Structure 1
Amino acid sequence: MSHLKVVVTRNIGAAALDILNQQKGLNVVLWDSEDRVVEKDWLDANIKDAHGLLVVFTEKINEELVTKAGPNLKAVSTMSVGVDHVELPVLAKRGIKLGYTPNVLTDAVADISVMLALMASRNVGQAISIAQEGKWPGLPWSPFGFCGPQISTSSAMGLPTPRTITAGFLGFGRIARATLNRLIGFGITHALYTDSGKNTDPDEEHEKKDFSIPVTRAKDFMQVARESDIVFVLTPGGKETYHLVGEEFLQAMKSTAVLINPSRGTVVDSDALAKACREGWIWGAGVDVIEGEPNVGSDHPLIKEPRCVVLPHIGSATTETRTAMARLAAENVVAGVLGQPLPAEYPVSQ
């Protein structure tokens, strides 16, 4: 079995690499860098006759690469939940299994989702820049300075009528549910969702287990835009959801609402979102992903927009989560080259 070659395109940490190195019969070929994207020349030179390939989402798995690997390639494992960088028909045509890393990053991304909602609604981006640029001493306190919409509720506010806050979700998978569970603790009173960015059947019941507030399926994704105080974009990327959130969607949102995108940059039209923040269609936005990343410079419209909080794709960036993702990616590729069931296999035929 010494001929089973596994190419790994990033140093994914000792815990995961030990899984590979301790497996008898594997020849592990490693691009030994944590921070540098694998060089094309290196990958082209080493991919030939590989039985397994372990990548991160910066690598494009396409016809060219799979052809260079040759007929021995049995499994591709990606250290990510998203598979936008993988041409699924190419793997399906050759019977190559695809491993990915769902579930283990649910809590970390849900945390970031709530954090972005708080930051966007409370003008944290603007406030931090004031402090970091030394402008605080010259800025007098104002009764309504930096005020934004509050995403929590309290009976102690003394409001004449009970306040309702609706969280809307484009996509209602594990991360969305974990996010909603966190928001309930803040006092969110209602939730509205679509399972994807496409129209859904309003009569189809969705599991409401563990939710202590009303959770309703929207008639279509535009209802989520119109009725939500916070919209969380948590739907997969791809052609079907490309620029789902564009000018029409953003103009339909409340002027006091915020848009949060911790999923895929391609789902949101960046230019439209910057315009929506700038012209006051919505209150603000928080994004952990942007179309075209990481090529997002200081002149990018969302970076330049004070009402938009931008993070450099750190949703899963906890030590515990990334270690778990790396281990699962390693276990997937080992199982794939050995002809065993993958712990987490993505269905390439769909």
Structure 2
Amino acid sequence: MLPSLMAKLQESFTVHCLWQQADPTGFLADIGPRIRGVTSSFAGPVPGGLLEQFPNLEIIASFGVGYDNVDAAAAAARGVVVTNTPGVLDDEVADLTLGLLLATLRRIPQADRFVRTGQWIEGAFPLSPSLRGRRVGIVGMGNIGRAIAQRLAGFDVEIAYHARSAKPDLTLPYHSSVVALAQASDVLIAIVPGGEETRHLIGAEVLKALGPDGVLINVARGSVVDEQALITALQSGTILAAGLDVYDDEPNVPRALIDMPNVVLLPHVGSASARTRDAMGQLVVDNLVGWFGQGSVLTPVPESEPLLGRGVTR
């Protein structure tokens, strides 16, 4: 947990850190029944089995907009409310997405290394692909997807999208499948939630549809893309390039991706600015304080809304 978040939590609560315990099993057996609230980052999952160690748990305040690290359905079945941190990170992730797209197309990291290693003395940097004239498909049109589309509009490119259903308030072209969107695009940006419903949503068929001039940008979850299919597509020229902020087994990135010159790799930093992470931490605290103070939360996940609708309060 971020030091700033820990400090805020400790102002209002007695905080126990599971990751600091030499004997987590014994610690849970001792302290588990006294725990009323849990907070978790993506690096600290809360699976259904762990919930059994907290028989009096009331709330899980997850740090992040994606909450596939929490078994929200199992929590709801136990009457445990789950919250996340949407909204406060939308702009930061959208900004990073555009930066990653430009870095991938214009080969900005490669150009930086070209200068640093003295290669410019020997000749000019090779010409790069361009964003000009491209058709960009966005897989997912939640708040972050909309923020990405808003920014892309300033680049004068064609924009289309796929989501579970068309958005009545959007005039952008909608495609009912990811394959259809990929066929109509030469840039594909993934910004959907993780979890089994979207696991390997982008696989070999989608990448083939994207085509040899195609670029994949993944700022969603690593599980959304079939990583081995992506490696094969990049190695074979099925697609042109990829920009990735997320991976299947973080922080373990496949050597094949690291070694490829047509891939830009980031260490899952979509929302990782000091300003935004502080805002996310504050929302975690606000949800916990609201629950234990007034019996209400600011940002429940969909699985928890029926609990609150039934009047479940502390």
- Structure 1-normalised TM-score? 0.79
1:239 aligns with 2:239: no
Match of 2:265? Answer: 310
Match of 2:4 among 13, 30, 34: 13
Q: Distance in 2 between matches of 1:136 and 1:293?
A: 34
Q: Conserved in 2, the CA contact under 8 Å of 1:56 and 1:79?
A: yes
1:194 aligns with 2:162: yes
Match of 2:17? Answer: 31
Structure 1 segments of 4+ aligned residues over 6 angstroms from their partners: none
Match of 1:171? Answer: 140
Q: Conserved in 2, the CA contact under 8 Å of 1:99 and 1:333?
A: no
Residue deviations 1:169-189, cap 9 Å, x none? Answer: 11011111111111111111x
Q: Distance in 1 between matches of 2:48 and 2:167?
A: 40
Instruction: Report the AA paired with residue 151 of structure 1.
Output: L
SS of residue matched to 1:328: helix
Q: CA deviation at 1:60?
A: 1.8
Match of 1:263 among 220, 233, 241: 220
Q: Conserved in 1, the CA contact under 8 Å of 2:137 and 2:159?
A: yes
Gaps of 5+ in 1: 1-9, 153-163, 209-213
SS of residue matched to 1:169: strand
Instruction: Report the AA paired with residue 277 of structure 2.
Output: R
Match of 1:206? Answer: 168
Match of 1:66? Answer: 51
Distance verdict in 2 for CA 1:51–1:259, change over 3 Å: same
Distance verdict in 2 for CA 1:280–1:40, change over 3 Å: farther
Gaps of 5+ in 2: 306-314
Q: Conserved in 1, the CA contact under 8 Å of 2:194 and 2:221?
A: yes
1:57 aligns with 2:42: yes
SS of residue matched to 1:326: helix
Alignment of 1:322-337 (within 5 A): 322-337=277-292
Q: Distance in 1 between matches of 2:67 and 2:229?
A: 25
Q: Distance in 2 between matches of 1:338 and 1:128?
A: 51
Q: Distance in 2 between matches of 1:74 and 1:113?
A: 35
Q: Distance in 2 between matches of 1:339 and 1:66?
A: 23
SS of residue matched to 1:80: coil
Residue deviations 1:77-129, cap 9 Å, x none? Answer: 01111111111222011100001100100000001110111011112243233
Q: Distance in 1 between matches of 2:233 and 2:222?
A: 16
Match of 1:343 among 294, 298, 304: 298
Q: Distance in 2 between matches of 1:294 and 1:240?
A: 23
Q: CA deviation at 1:40?
A: 7.2
1:277 aligns with 2:234: yes
Q: CA deviation at 1:53?
A: 1.0
Match of 1:141? Answer: 124
Q: CA deviation at 1:251?
A: 0.8
Q: Distance in 2 between matches of 1:344 and 1:327?
A: 12
Higher percent of residues as helix: 2
Residue deviations 1:208-228, cap 9 Å, x none? Answer: 2xxxxx611113211111111
Q: CA deviation at 1:271?
A: 1.7
Residue deviations 1:246-295, cap 9 Å, x none? Answer: 11110111322211101110011112212222222222110100111112
Alignment of 1:292-303 (within 5 A): 292-296=249-253, 300-303=255-258
Q: CA deviation at 1:12?
A: 4.3
Distance verdict in 2 for CA 1:77–1:254, change over 3 Å: same
1:219 aligns with 2:176: yes
Q: Conserved in 2, the CA contact under 8 Å of 1:284 and 1:307?
A: yes
Q: CA deviation at 1:205?
A: 5.1
Q: Distance in 1 between matches of 2:273 and 2:2?
A: 17
Q: How many residues align?
A: 302
1:151 aligns with 2:113: no
Q: Conserved in 2, the CA contact under 8 Å of 1:289 and 1:313?
A: yes
Q: Conserved in 1, the CA contact under 8 Å of 2:82 and 2:304?
A: no
